[in-house]
Amino acid sequence: MPVALYDTWSRTLRAFTPIQADHVGLYCCGPTVYDHAHIGNLRTYVFEDVLRRVLALNGYTVRHVVNITDVGHLVSDADEGEDKMEKGSRRTGESAWAIAERYTAAFMNDWRALNLLEPTVWCRATDHIAEQIDFIAELERKGYTYRTIDGIYFDTSKQDEYGFLARLDVAGLQAGKRVALGEKRHATDFALWKFSPPDTLRQMEWDSPWGRGFPGWHIECSAMSAKYLGPWFDIHCGGEDHIAVHHSNEIAQTQARHGTRLANFWMHGHFLTLDTGKMSKSGGDFVRLRTLTGRGVDPLAYRYLCLSAHYRSSLRFNLDALDAAQSALDRLRRVYVQWPEGGMPDTHSVARFKVEVDQDLNLPRALAVLWDVVRSDLPAATRRATVDRFDAVLGFRLADWKKDVSAIPAIPVDIALLADERERARAAKDWNEADRLRDQLRAEGWHVEDSSSGQALRRLDKTQ
State the DSSP H helix or E strand holding residue 263, giving kind and residue range, or none if neither: strand 262-269
* Alpha carbons 192 and 52: distance in angstroms, whole number: 31
CB of 38 to ligand AMP, least distance (A): 7
> From the list ligand AMP, Zn ion, none, which binds 248 (C-beta under 5 to 8 Å, kind-based)?
none
Rounded to the nearest 10 degrees, how much is the dihedral formed by the CA atoms of 57, 60, 65, 66? -20
CB of 29 to Zn ion, least distance (A): 3
> From the list Zn ion, ligand AMP, none, which binds 53 (C-beta under 5 to 8 Å, kind-based)?
none
> From the list ligand AMP, Zn ion, none, which binds 272 (C-beta under 5 to 8 Å, kind-based)?
ligand AMP
* Alpha carbons 150 and 156: distance in angstroms, whole number: 18
> From the list Zn ion, ligand AMP, none, which binds 187 (C-beta under 5 to 8 Å, kind-based)?
none
Dihedral pair phi/psi, residue 340, rounded to 5°: -75, 155
| 322 or 385: CB nearest ligand AMP | 322
Which amino acid does the sequence have at 333? R
CB of 41 to ligand AMP, least distance (A): 4
CB of 217 to Zn ion, least distance (A): 8
| 29 or 68: CB nearest Zn ion | 29
| 223 or 272: CB nearest Zn ion | 223
Contact assessment for residue 388 and residue 353, using Cβ atoms and an 8 Å cutoff: no
DSSP 411: -
CB of 244 to ligand AMP, least distance (A): 11
Binding site residues, Zn ion, CB under 5 A: 29, 221
Which amino acid does the sequence have at 176? G
CB of 121 to Zn ion, least distance (A): 14
* Alpha carbons 221 and 251: distance in angstroms, whole number: 10
* Alpha carbons 28 and 267: distance in angstroms, whole number: 10
Dihedral pair phi/psi, residue 143, rounded to 5°: 85, 25
> From the list Zn ion, ligand AMP, none, which binds 119 (C-beta under 5 to 8 Å, kind-based)?
none
> From the list ligand AMP, Zn ion, none, which binds 126 (C-beta under 5 to 8 Å, kind-based)?
none
Confirm or deny that 36 is annotated as ligand binding: no
> From the list Zn ion, ligand AMP, none, which binds 345 (C-beta under 5 to 8 Å, kind-based)?
none
- The 10 Å CB-count burial string (b at 16+, else e) for 368-399 is ebbeebbeeebeeebbbbbbbbbbebbbbebe
Whole-angstrom CA distances from 194 to 63, 147, 288, 323 are: 32, 10, 31, 46
Binding site residues, ligand AMP, CB under 6 A: 29, 31-32, 40-41, 43-44, 69, 238-239, 241-242, 269, 271-272
CB of 137 to Zn ion, least distance (A): 20
Whole-angstrom CA distances from 196 to 48, 83, 204, 239, 332 are: 35, 11, 9, 30, 55
DSSP 264: E
Confirm or deny that 38 is annotated as ligand binding: no
> From the list Zn ion, ligand AMP, none, which binds 221 (C-beta under 5 to 8 Å, kind-based)?
Zn ion
| 204 or 415: CB nearest ligand AMP | 204
CB of 96 to ligand AMP, least distance (A): 16
* Alpha carbons 374 and 245: distance in angstroms, whole number: 44
| 315 or 441: CB nearest ligand AMP | 315
CB of 242 to Zn ion, least distance (A): 7
Residue closest to ligand AMP (Cβ): 239
195 beta partners: 213
Confirm or deny that 250 is annotated as ligand binding: yes
| 46 or 300: CB nearest ligand AMP | 46
**Residues in the chain, overall count:** 464
* Alpha carbons 38 and 286: distance in angstroms, whole number: 6
| 245 or 297: CB nearest ligand AMP | 245
State the DSSP H helix or E strand holding residue 277, giving kind and residue range, or none if neither: helix 277-283
* Alpha carbons 137 and 282: distance in angstroms, whole number: 48
H helices then E strands: how many in the chain? 16, 17
Confirm or deny that 246 is annotated as ligand binding: yes
| 31 or 163: CB nearest ligand AMP | 31
Confirm or deny that 281 is annotated as ligand binding: yes
| 49 or 346: CB nearest ligand AMP | 49
> From the list Zn ion, ligand AMP, none, which binds 239 (C-beta under 5 to 8 Å, kind-based)?
ligand AMP
Residues comprising the binding site for ATP? 281
Per the annotation, where are the binding residues for Zn(2+)?
A: 29, 221, 246, 250
